[in-house]
Amino acid sequence: MARIVVDAMGSDNYPTPDVEGAVQAAREYGAEIILVGDEKIIKPVLEKQNTQGLSISIVDAPEILSMEDKGEGLVLKARAKDSKNSMAVGMDLVKDGKADAFVTAGNTGAGMVTALFRLGRIRGVDRPALAPIFPTATGTCVVLDIGANPDCKPENLLQFAILGSIYAEKVRGVNKPKIGVVSNAEEEGKGNELVKAATPLIKNSGLNYFGNVEGKEVIGGKVDVAVTDGFTGNVMLKSSEAVAKLITDTIRTIIKNGNILTKIGGLLVRPALGQIKKLLDPGEQGAAPMLGVNGLVFIGHGRSDAFAIKNAIRVAKHAVDVNVLDAMKSAIEESLKK
C-alpha cells in the first residue's frame, strides 16, 4: 500500500480541504494517508469524517511555512534539523523511508527549498523542475520547468527532457514521448542562445526529439514533453490559465445576459461546457511533480479544494506504484555515461 504524506496545513483554507481530500483519496484509492500539521487543528476536522476502515494517521508538526516565509528565514526553516513545520516533518518521513510521497498545496517556493534541503537532488541533476500537465488538443503535455529555475543552462534543459520523458512514459502512459524545446520559431537554429545550445544536446541524447515548438504546437498536442526555462514556462502557465478563465467567464456572461434564445442555447450546450471546464480545471491533476529531487514531491495550488487534494494524492500514488523515481534515477545515470 502506497504511503502518502499530506501537508494538512498547505492549502489557503487549511486544514479542511486537505483533510477531506485525504479521506476521499484513502477511500477511493486505498492509499495509506499520513496527515502532517498542527494536531490540535487537524484532529477535530478529521473526527468529523467517516474514516472507518481507512488507514489515516496524524503526525504533529505545529509550525507552518507561509507565503510570508522568504529568503534567509525560509532557508533556515527548511534546513534546520529540528524544524517542526509541516513541510520539513513531512519530507523527513519520505527521506527516512516511512512514507513514499509528499503532497502539499502550500507555498511553492517553500516546497522547493525544503525538498532540496531535506531530500537533496538525484545524482546528475543540477536543478529540479516543476512539471505540470497542460491540456492539449490530443491529450496532455508535461511542461517543465514552470518556475523553479528562471535562468537555465543548456545542460539543465537536457536533464529536464530526460526527467519529463520518464515521467510522461511511466505516469502518463505515453510510449516514446515526443520531446520539444519551447522556442519562438519551429525551425532548428532559431530561438535564443539557450534554445540554440540545448537543441543539439537533446537531439543527440537518444530521446524521441521532435524539434522546436511554439506555444501553439504545445497546446496543439504536437509533443508529449515541452522543455524550457522556468521564466518562460511560468509565463506560459499563467497566460494559459488566464486565457482559459477569460473564455469560460465570457461564455458564462454572454449566456447570462443574453436573450431567451441565448439562454436556451446555453442550456443545450451546458454538457459540452462542463467537459471544457473539466479539461481546463487544474484540480483534475491536483498537483505538479517536482522532478529531480531524491523523493516524490507534488505541489498544488494554494486554492486547492478537497477534489484537487484527492487528485493530487491519486497522481502521487500512481507515481509510487509505477516506481517512477527509480526510473528517473536510472535514466539520469545512463545519461552521465554518454
Domain check: are 80 and 56 in the same one?
A: yes
Q: Which of 136, 72, 69, 152 has its CA nearest to residue 109?
A: 69
Domain check: are 85 and 12 in the same one?
A: yes
- Which three three-digit cell numbers place residue 167? 515521467
Whether residue 35 lies inside any domain: the answer is: yes
The number of beta carbons lying within 10 Å of the beta carbon of residue 176 is 11
Whether residue 91 lies inside any domain: the answer is: yes
Mean pLDDT for 120-144 is 91
Strands of the sheet containing 178-182, edge to edge, are 133-136, 139-144, 225-227, 178-182, 208-213
Whether residue 269 lies inside any domain: the answer is: yes
Whether residue 84 lies inside any domain: the answer is: yes
Domain check: are 86 and 143 in the same one?
A: no
Task: Give pLDDT, residue 14.
Answer: 92
Collapsing DSSP to helix, strand or coil, 105 comes out as coil
Domain check: are 137 and 231 in the same one?
A: yes
Average pLDDT, the chain: 88
Domain check: are 214 and 268 in the same one?
A: no
pLDDT band at 277 (very low <50, low <70, confident <90, very high): low
The amino acid that residue 127 corresponds to is R
Whether residue 101 lies inside any domain: the answer is: yes
Whether residue 176 lies inside any domain: the answer is: yes
Q: How much of the chain exceeds pLDDT 90, in percent?
A: 56
What's the gap between Cα 280 and its chain centre? 15
Domain check: are 212 and 321 in the same one?
A: no
- pLDDT tens-digit readout, 287-300: 899 999 999 999 99
> Look-up: residue for cell 537533446?
202
- Which three three-digit cell numbers place residue 262? 441565448
C-alpha distances in angstroms, 98 versus 57, 68, 91, 257?
Answer: 12, 30, 10, 55
Domain check: are 12 and 94 in the same one?
A: yes
Q: Taking the C-alpha atoms of 63, 316, 4 and 74 in order, what is their torsion angle to the nearest 10 degrees? A: -20
Q: What is the DSSP string of 142-166?
A: EEE-SSS-SS--HHHHHHHHHHHHH
Task: Give pLDDT, residue 247.
Answer: 82
- pLDDT tens-digit readout, 37-58: 999 999 999 999 999 989 999 9
pLDDT at 240 over 90: no
CATH number (domain holding residue 188): 3.40.50.10750
CATH number (domain holding residue 73): 3.40.718.10
Domain check: are 117 and 138 in the same one?
A: no
The number of beta carbons lying within 10 Å of the beta carbon of residue 263 is 13
Task: Give pLDDT, residue 78.
Answer: 65
Domain check: are 223 and 136 in the same one?
A: yes
Q: Would residue 30 be called left, alpha or beta, if left means φ above 0 and alpha means ψ between -120 and 50 degrees?
A: left
Phi, psi of 114 (to 5 degrees): -65, -40
Task: Give pLDDT, residue 209.
Answer: 95
pTM for the whole structure? 0.89
Beta pairing partners, 63: 85
The amino acid that residue 165 corresponds to is S
The number of beta carbons lying within 10 Å of the beta carbon of residue 278 is 11
- pLDDT tens-digit readout, 53-105: 899 999 999 887 766 666 666 666 666 678 889 999 999 999 999 999 999 99
Exposure b/e, 33-72, CB count within 10 A at least 16 = b:
bbbbbbbebbeebbeebebeebebebbebebbbeeebeee
pLDDT at 197 over 90: yes
pLDDT band at 272 (very low <50, low <70, confident <90, very high): low
Whether residue 337 lies inside any domain: the answer is: no
Helix, strand and coil in the chain, % to nearest 5: 50, 15, 35
How many structural domains comprise the chain? 3
- Determine if the peptide bond prior to 145 is cis (ω within 30°): yes
Task: Give pLDDT, residue 72.
Answer: 61
Find the range with the poorest average confidence among 35-49, 118-132, 233-247: 233-247
Whether residue 67 lies inside any domain: the answer is: yes
Task: Give pLDDT, residue 262.
Answer: 78
Domain that holds residue 254: 244-278
Q: Do residues 227 and 161 touch, judged by C-beta distance below 8 A?
A: yes
